[in-house]
Structure 1
Amino acid sequence: MLRNAGAAGGLATLGTLPVFLVGAQAVLIRDDLRVDDARLGLAAGAFFGVAAVVSLTCGGLVDRMSSRASTLVAAGISAGATLGIAVGAQSFVSLLVLLLLAGAGNAALQMTANVTLARTVPPSRQGMAYGIKQSAVPLAVMLGGLAVPSVGVWVGWRWTFAITGGVCVLVAAFGVRQRSVHPTAGPSSGALDRPPVAALLVSGAATMLATSAVVCLGAFLPVWAHELGLSPARSGLLLSAGGALALVARLASGFAADRRVGWHMPIVSAHLLVGAAGVFLLSLQDVATLVVGTLIAFGIGWSWPGVLLFAVVRVGRDNPGAASGAIQGGNFAGAALGPVLFGLLATAVGYSTAWRLAAGIMLAAAALLVIARRMFIADSRRRQPQRTSP
């Protein structure tokens, strides 16, 4: 299990890494390509936007592909994009086009990882497996930050993309040699048993809302902490502590999910409720509550992605790619929209109000997940009563 989960986490990290390399090396890229921060922000949003569209529309295609074929295609797209940035990004337009391609590769790698885990990991261990896989985002954040002092400053930012592209090529080569796992058909009719579309859409909408709120922690917490009196170094340390706590919490949540029978989506709703309280604490303009709120928001409010993905894949019937695509699409859409809308709100009405609205959005996401679970249960009872509740 750990080998498959680690491989899936590696695929997910490779897919997410390009956009965090851009963010971490924004100063170097800005000076080299002569672009401003607004355009770099637009490029990052476009990366997640394309990933959302690909996730929502191509999940079924990944379900019909073997693991070997999907790994080869996904890694090939990402390799082409990252190596293209390393050698061909000479202007903002070329960087944007290549990041759009990288966004498509990210979606393909994420869905490949999800489907591979669904096919190869026993259901009793999938909670931990998806927890490991969903730790890719905080891991990519840390790797992106480490790339600046270790590679970017010394030999240039393009080399970080060249190294990432080289790893993608190795993954593609591994995909050619790996034992291929093919999709399975339904037990009676030979046809794939389709997941309930309406419930998936509600789950995706909830994921989009939740992600749009929590992703703003990484984008705006250091600025807000500095405004409240923390030095840039301490603000960065607070963010790093929150990211590390989120990584550990995702692993712990996955471990706990394997020891429950059902009730995964209510647990995610509870995490969002507590996380909303943590985000609300950020609005109180006090350093002590800022620290406490940060730890709660990261440690509980952002610990749920692996558990939610695990729950939805379990009720996704014979289509783990399509089921996980709804969640990944919601994640990417929230990551694209959240920072933009939060930035506009913070500029218009101030950070305190923006944090409170973000907390309210997390509450709405928790409510939508309750509705989605009822829809999943109703569909399960109508078709196959023995299905495990989400």
Structure 2
Amino acid sequence: MRAGGAATTMTIACVIPVFLVGGLSVQITGDLGFGSSGVGLAVATYFGTSALASIPAGRLVERYGAVACGRAAIALSASSMLTIAAFARGLAALVIILAAGAAANSLGQLASNLLVARHVPDGRQGLLFGLKQAAIPASTLIAGACVPIIALTVGWRWAFVMAGILALTTMIPLRGLPAATPGPKRQDAKRMRPSAGLLITGAAAFCAASAASNITPFLVATAVDHGLSPAAAGLTLTMGSFVGLIARIAVGWFTDRRRADGLLLVTVMLALGSGGLALISATPLWTLPIGVIIGYVFGWSWAGVLTYAVTTTNPEAPAAASGVMQTGVYLGGMAGPFTFGIIAEHHGYAPAWIASGAIMLCAAALTAVARGLLAPGRDRARLHTG
């Protein structure tokens, strides 16, 4: 379980920079003199850089091990936050420094995946991957708490300073863990190439993230458009985020307890989640909280199970394989909100949510295809070597 704890804290340390930028956007934009479009550019650059770095990062983790790469990722993430605090005097500097933090995120995510895959018993990996993915909405809650506690008292830069220092402490759980990757084989990372099945899994992750990543940034505006007050809309988002956090852990526990078929479970979750997004688009106000709960529980809690499925079907190189999946997730996180915003601006929120639901349904279909490739005697959706 120590490896699982290290993986979870590493994930928080490496993903917190972008959530701090989002959570402190009002203070940052007011101080640095740019608008919300600048925040959108910074966040999009972050996810775009994460996508570009994921596959190379996976190969680095396979070659040098989870502990060494985890330490490097934490150090780079902490450095990016401290550098933002000290030197971000405009939008260009913020974007460039945040991009360095994105590379740390890719490396840290895949190092933490390898830690769980190599050091956690099979009967607990589903739960640990769920906990690791729950660290992401937990980072959102931490960033939100920084606003009244730090940003509105001593300034937003000190929030980055404190987060950077705390991030460095997440190296402590890595002490004592084996430095090398104790896999069945030490593959030549340069010869690893994804099979058709793994590429389809990455495409499914892209579609799923494209749809699911719209929930958090657009839910409040949609709720207000439906007639809720801003305060009630904010509470709806908080409720959904908390439910989603618990759901990620619960789904991981269920996967272990029932020895569930990970890709089948993800297929069902995405199909149900698409219905939740459709309910968010509906006109009657009573459908909104139901749609939010279904959307978060099923439509945005699949990431841990999908990571578990990818790593367990690629035991020779779990970090490199999950790097392909993470590329899809990051590209989806970048493309989804951009597309949703265009549709919402020109046609309204309801068509945008319906389109998101349709994309999530496509993700369910692609996941079912990828699962079919896992059948005995078929392409096992793995990385090939040679």
TM-score, normalised with respect to structure 1 = 0.93
Structure 1 position 184, deviation (Å) = 3.5
Matches within 5 A, 1:1-390: 1=1, 3-172=2-171, 175=174, 177-184=175-182, 186=184, 196-377=194-375
Measured on the aligned residues, the alpha-carbon RMSD in Å equals 2.1
Cα distance change of structure 1 residues 62 and 252 upon mapping to structure 2, 3 Å threshold: same
One-letter identity of the residue aligned with 2:281: S
Distance in structure 1 (CA, Å) of the matches to 2:122 and 2:56: 26
Indicate the larger mover: 305-314 or 328-337. Answer: 328-337
One-letter identity of the residue aligned with 2:158: W
- Are the equivalent residues in 2 in contact too, given 1:194–1:318 (CA < 8 A)? no
Q: Deviations over 1:112-135 (max 9, x none)?
A: 111111111011110001000010
The secondary structure found in structure 2 opposite 1:227 is helix
Structure 1 position 262, deviation (Å) = 5.0
Structure 1 position 21, deviation (Å) = 0.9
Structure 1 position 69, deviation (Å) = 1.1
Cα distance change of structure 1 residues 382 and 224 upon mapping to structure 2, 3 Å threshold: closer
Q: Deviations over 1:231-266 (max 9, x none)?
A: 111101100100111111111100011123452101
- Are the equivalent residues in 2 in contact too, given 1:202–1:372 (CA < 8 A)? yes
The secondary structure found in structure 2 opposite 1:286 is coil
The secondary structure found in structure 2 opposite 1:287 is coil
- Are the equivalent residues in 2 in contact too, given 1:211–1:338 (CA < 8 A)? yes
Structure 1 position 174, deviation (Å) = 5.8
Structure 1 position 290, deviation (Å) = 0.9
Cα distance change of structure 1 residues 319 and 380 upon mapping to structure 2, 3 Å threshold: farther
Structure 1 position 268, deviation (Å) = 0.6
Distance in structure 2 (CA, Å) of the matches to 1:180 and 1:380: 35
Structure 1 position 269, deviation (Å) = 0.7
Distance in structure 2 (CA, Å) of the matches to 1:379 and 1:186: 22
Distance in structure 2 (CA, Å) of the matches to 1:47 and 1:179: 30
- Are the equivalent residues in 2 in contact too, given 1:196–1:376 (CA < 8 A)? no
Q: Deviations over 1:267-292 (max 9, x none)?
A: 11101111101100111122101111
Cα distance change of structure 1 residues 379 and 235 upon mapping to structure 2, 3 Å threshold: farther
One-letter identity of the residue aligned with 1:274: L
Distance in structure 1 (CA, Å) of the matches to 2:381 and 2:32: 56
Distance in structure 1 (CA, Å) of the matches to 2:342 and 2:94: 25
- Are the equivalent residues in 2 in contact too, given 1:203–1:369 (CA < 8 A)? yes
Cα distance change of structure 1 residues 299 and 160 upon mapping to structure 2, 3 Å threshold: same
Q: Deviations over 1:167-201 (max 9, x none)?
A: 233334664x43334223546x9878968522121
Structure 1: unaligned runs, 5 residues or longer: 385-390
Indicate the larger mover: 253-262 or 223-232. Answer: 253-262
Partner of 1:388: none
- Are the equivalent residues in 1 in contact too, given 2:129–2:307 (CA < 8 A)? yes
Structure 1 position 71, deviation (Å) = 1.7
The secondary structure found in structure 1 opposite 2:213 is helix
Distance in structure 2 (CA, Å) of the matches to 1:346 and 1:280: 14
- Are the equivalent residues in 2 in contact too, given 1:185–1:191 (CA < 8 A)? no
- Are the equivalent residues in 1 in contact too, given 2:197–2:379 (CA < 8 A)? no
Distance in structure 1 (CA, Å) of the matches to 2:44 and 2:298: 25
Distance in structure 1 (CA, Å) of the matches to 2:158 and 2:110: 27
Distance in structure 2 (CA, Å) of the matches to 1:295 and 1:174: 34
- Are the equivalent residues in 1 in contact too, given 2:281–2:354 (CA < 8 A)? yes
Cα distance change of structure 1 residues 191 and 327 upon mapping to structure 2, 3 Å threshold: closer
One-letter identity of the residue aligned with 1:49: G
One-letter identity of the residue aligned with 1:315: T
Cα distance change of structure 1 residues 381 and 199 upon mapping to structure 2, 3 Å threshold: closer
Distance in structure 2 (CA, Å) of the matches to 1:228 and 1:373: 38
Structure 1 position 155, deviation (Å) = 0.6
- Number of matched residues? 381
Structure 1 position 215, deviation (Å) = 1.1
